[in-house]
Chain A
Amino acid sequence: MTNGHYGPYGGRFVPEALTAALDELDAAFRSAKEDSAFMQELRALERDYTGRPNPLTYAKRFSEHCGGARVYLKREDLNHTGSHKINNVLGQALLTQRMGKKRMIAETGAGQHGVATATAAALFGLECTVYMGLEDTRRQALNVARMKLLGAEVIPVTAGSQTLKDAINEAMRDWVASVDTTHYVLGTVTGPAPFPEMVRYFHSVIGIEAREQILGIEGRLPDAVVACVGGGSNAMGLFSGFMDDEQVILRGYEAGGDGVETGRHSARFSGGTPGVLHGARTYVMQDQWGQTAPSHSISAGMDYPGVGPEHAWLHDTGRASYEPVTDAEAMEAFAILSKTEGIIPAIETAHGLAGAMRIGKELGPDSVVIVNLSGRGDKDVATAARWFGIDLGSTVTNELSPEMREGR
């Protein structure tokens, strides 16, 4: 099997009890990739269920805010369930069946991965449990309701910071005890091998489509492809299509929160150091003793102290670069895209859009930039309304938790 390393990053740092399951998963993944029946089933699901290929939309009016660069949106928001997350989940759900397991568990931050997993579980008739930090269940109440409607059990995690990292801890604890019957559908390109490689593989369809589409429209490769980076799965999916095109700039945008200088952020490459978290060596926000430091972002899906190990390696080798985008910059981009293109993005995605505005100005008016529109913003309407001071009125307010009404 592969050693699962990207330079010094990646690997497997897990309790021995999980080794057999990871070996089983690795073997199932490798045999499935070579199995034309499996791949045909996956491609058919992508086409008939997810709705792929999704468009590459030229954002004419948004481009005016990007230094005149021609900015294209890869429309993962148009996938069934509203984000890129479904690409990975359908692949892992097919693997769950292939391994003869009956139950899927998942962690979720913004709820998009949880919704996608609950969706696939419903489609395949599998049991589903989703772990979500209590703080995130409040920030993303709409997605909690969606998961429950889809038949999943949602367990709020009260440990630690009550966010994505704690949800991953809890999912791992479940998995150690249930591994005979349960597959852990990890939602991003991190965790122990083979997860980073496997999740990238299932998202590589994003980059493959985008490359073909831009060559068809522009007749040339883009100057840059950009994406938001929480764990980094949507970025890795897009980047993978252009990895070997060395002239194409790959740039990821992390959550700068209140500003990297305030310490309240999730910018691992600006404020983190190499360490081990959740089974992989990567860049981690940690203190001098190796204790995980609190992360912050207005966006639940970006609020994570680690990052995919391949991103760590791309950062060190210089093939990709990473910059922080503050909450305020992301919300500005959120508003601009909504008003210029009629597309309300997820707040995670808005970090990538802010990046497109920045890099477009850097590269100038003749440049071509692709930004991954990784998810739609319906789930974020309440957060955005609070940010922009929009009065939600009594009808809507009644559906919000007391904390939300108080504006917390």
Chain B
Amino acid sequence: MINSMFFDTISVSLIFFVLLVFFVYLAGKPKKAVTPGKTSIYACGENLNPEDLNMVQKSFYTTIIDALRINKLSELHSGNLTEYLFLVAAGTFAIIILLVLLW
């Protein structure tokens, strides 16, 4: 009955559950600001600044990059124009050879 060109039962369900979650969120009366006291570490009595608690996002993936050796991949992208020209020409000839063999 609901199904049409623009929406179906899944679309209606998605909207319903998004609204439901939103009302649940509002009903929880979330507080807006985190007070400074809540960032202090009680176990050892140490007080840390909020800035110090943030993870350094930019190096978060360093281990993945090193493990997958992505640095080696980036050596292909040196920015050198003659390398780019060579790689475009090589790619073109490789594709043409593949097309001729497979067509």
Same complex origin of A and B: no
